[in-house]
Structure 1
Amino acid sequence: MRKLRCWVGGLLLSLAALASSAAEVVIGQVAPLSGVLASTGEQMVLGGKVYFDAVNAQGGVHGAKIRLQVEDDGYKVDDTVRLTRAMLDRPEVVALFGFAGTANIAQLLADKVLEQGGAALVAPYTGGEVLRTPFNPWIFHVRAGYADEAEHMVQQLATLGITRIAVMYQDDGFGKAGLAGVEAALERRQLKLVAAAGYERNTDNVDSAVQTIRAMDAQAVIMIAVNKPAAAFTKRYREQGGGARLFNISVVDPAEIVKLAGLKNAHGLAISQVVPYPYRPQLPVVREYQQLLKKYAPEAEINYTSFETFLGAKVLVEALRRAGPQPTRARVLRALESLQGFDLGGVTLNYGPNNRVGSRFVEVTVIGGNGRLMK
């Protein structure tokens, strides 16, 4: 009898474990939680987690709780590929979410990691054109591309009569994508760059770029850079007397720029943005973001990066709902394709069988005298 009771008890525990595992949906995220992009990576994870926590508190999706499995790639391409392969080897992972790095994700495409795994990647934190053209079915973008950002910045400068434009860029797929976007925007206006100066990925060695651009007497400098090198260039360029207007593409944290470069140097830096201004609760989705951030991460500050991945999390959760109970990778992908004219709360995204770019929204903000972003 004792053996029978033990056997029954063991069976019940096994069934309970199966029920528990069946009652969750696993999402995989590889993010740069160390290295030069660490502060951005933390915000990327936070924005998704806040929304997933809120959904789980309401019972999850079709009764299943969302579990976000996060791994740190340190912004290193080889680690991104290795960690993603390992995630996709686990059948319970139904989708990928919020990766970073044009070169990192481009390598996933080149190595056919996403294709072989059959999983969608939702809301990557990059606007690289190589991830959009030629069309691939695996990546669902929430943000506009770097070409869209470059066009917007160049248009603003051209309107002001500024024609002597230089680019400081990260010498990899990310930086070259942004550089190509600026060159194309200038060519449409019969203009050319006065200088293009690169720096090595995963460093802030920008002294050579500072010297090259200062020597060409540019009126404006567009930086295709991440936090630390962008801050280093801003600081050294200003301290050496550089007076050009400074712009940076969207993938930087203004608070980190101010901290590293100093407010005196960072004041006036313009940053293009690919999601609406998150600091004023004028849109329903901004109000929702602010409320849930305060509830689930009360120590955290409002941030463009966490707001962007919050939007991406809303997209993914809606796809999980449409995929039905016990979603598979294929069902999630088809559900994402069905999100045409999907209103997140004042922000509308459009996907389809032949469209993976949900939004083309771009606007420019500026770091003000108090260190905060102004529209």
Structure 2
Amino acid sequence: MAGATQPAKPPAHRGACGPSDGAAGASRRRWLQGALASALVPWAAHAAPRAGEIVIGQVAPLSGVLASTGRQMVLGGRLYFDWVNANGGVHGAAIRHEVVDDGYRVEDTVRATRALLARPEVVALFGFAGTANITQLLQDGVLAEGGAALVAPYTGGEALRTPFNPWIFHVRAGYADEAEHMVQHLTTIGVERVAVLYQDDGFGQAGLAGVRAALARRKLQPVAEAGYERNTDQVEAAVQAIRQSDAQAVIMVAINRPASAFIRRYRELGGGAQLYSISVVDPNEIVQLAGLKNAHGVRISQVVPYPFRSALPVVREYQRLLKTQAPDTEVSYTSFEEFLGAKVLVEGLRRAGPQPTRAKVLQALESLQDFDLGGLRVDYGPRNRIGSRAVEVTVIGSTGRLVR
């Protein structure tokens, strides 16, 4: 089982195996921490890969309104990639994890992805963010032309799942799955007047569509739909519209800053509806920006296992590596989700063989059917790119911590 004991062989030969319980040497820890820090800044230039390296590319929002999320995304992947490298790599080859900042700007995502895919040594893509950003890659044919798999994007947009495309391997459930779970919970407890705050772009529209569909299945519709402009936290008009609707619950399809601004202002004006959020927010940032008094009780849907309690082998594995490689960093759903994605990608690289190509990696990822990451199973196939549909709801407790 993943993470239970020191593997006899490096992970390149063992699939979902995990790190040792024993402490690594001080020099190794320093090396890992240095490598982690190097991933948290954009790459200004790309040196030619050394012999025996496997290059993967990540475009992430390391600046702008989603910067804190982007840093957590990169951290989660780097935790596992660095551990793999420190334990022999993949068939003896080290993983070179190159990161480019797109600032959550669609045009920069497209530009950076084209640049990565123009380099033949880049065999796979990893952990992008933004429904609108990645949708543009599909619409412009960037992924199809490049022919590389994109593993574990940090989005649940339905446009990236339906219609089927072969390039994107999702680890998480979609926004439609999250909306269904939240609406089912609300209607079960008698709540029928549901409003939606949404970001007015592909991300927000995907979440809004999910809520509409979930309510329609119960012969209901939103009592208010209030949008806000992407890359801002100007939500005053949305606050006023939702307050006037007399909603019993509000589902927020928003990122950290605008969600926090809405929570703070809505509560300051006396809004008493139950507040629910889609999974992409960081509860720590919500508490910091909205204030604990306002954030207490906000419910957040989650699409990966609870990472704060070491009930599963993969959670214990993640917690050990976080403590060893980034001891000043807190456990988070975001970094844990991308940690899981890194494990999926590494297994795909392993199955692709000693000289992986884009086509070999894509075919190898398809073979991960009912694959155990350490207590969480993902399932892919030639016509399936959605690894998991699991959803649960957590709550920001009285101390600011998430509770189940």
Instruction: Place the TM-score, normalised by the shorter chain, in its bin.
Output: over 0.9
Could you report, residue by residue, the CA deviation over 1:266-325 in whole angstroms, capped at 9, with x for unpaired residues? 000000000000000000000000001111111110000000000000000000000001
Is structure 2 residue 64 aligned with structure 1 residue 64?
no
How far 1:22 sits from its partner (Å)?
2.2
2:164 is aligned, of 119, 135, 145, to 135
Q: Structure 2 CA distance, aligned partners of 1:111 and 1:188?
A: 34
Give 1:255's aligned residue: 284
**Aligned-residue RMSD, C-alpha:** 1.0
Q: Structure 2 CA distance, aligned partners of 1:70 and 1:359?
A: 26
The one-letter code matched in structure 1 to 2:361 is V
Q: Structure 1 CA distance, aligned partners of 2:347 and 2:206?
A: 31
Q: Give the conservation status (yes or no) of the 8 Å contact 1:268–1:366.
A: yes
Could you report, residue by residue, the CA deviation over 1:93-139 in whole angstroms, capped at 9, with x for unpaired residues? 00000000000000000000000001000000000000000000000
The one-letter code matched in structure 2 to 1:218 is A
1:296 is aligned, of 325, 330, 348, to 325
The one-letter code matched in structure 2 to 1:272 is S
Give 1:163's aligned residue: 192
Name the SS for the 1:251 alignment partner. coil
Give 1:12's aligned residue: none
Q: Structure 1 CA distance, aligned partners of 2:174 and 2:216?
A: 18
How far 1:81 sits from its partner (Å)?
0.1
Is structure 2 residue 35 aligned with structure 1 residue 35?
no
Q: Greater Rg, structure 1 or structure 2?
A: 1
Q: Percent identity?
A: 76
Q: Give the conservation status (yes or no) of the 8 Å contact 1:53–1:296.
A: no
Give 1:4's aligned residue: none
Q: Structure 1 CA distance, aligned partners of 2:49 and 2:112?
A: 25
Name the SS for the 1:114 alignment partner. helix
Name the SS for the 1:96 alignment partner. strand
Give 2:180's aligned residue: 151
Q: Structure 2 CA distance, aligned partners of 1:370 and 1:294?
A: 22
Could you report, residue by residue, the CA deviation over 1:158-209 in whole angstroms, capped at 9, with x for unpaired residues? 0110000000000000000000000000000000110000000000010000
Is structure 2 residue 333 aligned with structure 1 residue 309?
no
- Any stretches of 5+ residues in structure 2 without a counterpart? 1-46
Report how many residues are paired: 358
Could you report, residue by residue, the CA deviation over 1:244-285 in whole angstroms, capped at 9, with x for unpaired residues? 000000001000000000000000000000000000000000
How far 1:19 sits from its partner (Å)?
12
Q: Structure 2 CA distance, aligned partners of 1:308 and 1:173?
A: 21
The one-letter code matched in structure 1 to 2:247 is A
Q: Give the conservation status (yes or no) of the 8 Å contact 2:49–2:55.
A: no
Q: Structure 2 CA distance, aligned partners of 1:350 and 1:326?
A: 24
Q: Structure 2 CA distance, aligned partners of 1:230 and 1:357?
A: 27
Name the SS for the 2:310 alignment partner. coil
Give 1:22's aligned residue: 51
Scaled by the length of structure 1, the TM-score of the pair is 0.95
Following superposition, which runs of at least 4 residues in structure 1 exceed 4 angstroms of deviation?
none
Distance 1:338 1:235, change over 3 A: same
Q: How does 1:196-215 map to 2 (within 5 A)?
A: 196-215=225-244
Q: Structure 2 CA distance, aligned partners of 1:152 and 1:205?
A: 28
Q: Structure 2 CA distance, aligned partners of 1:88 and 1:295?
A: 33
Please say which of residues 291-300 and 181-190 is displaced more in the overlay.
291-300
2:369 is aligned, of 333, 340, 344, to 340
Q: Give the conservation status (yes or no) of the 8 Å contact 1:249–1:272.
A: yes
- Any stretches of 5+ residues in structure 1 without a counterpart? 1-17
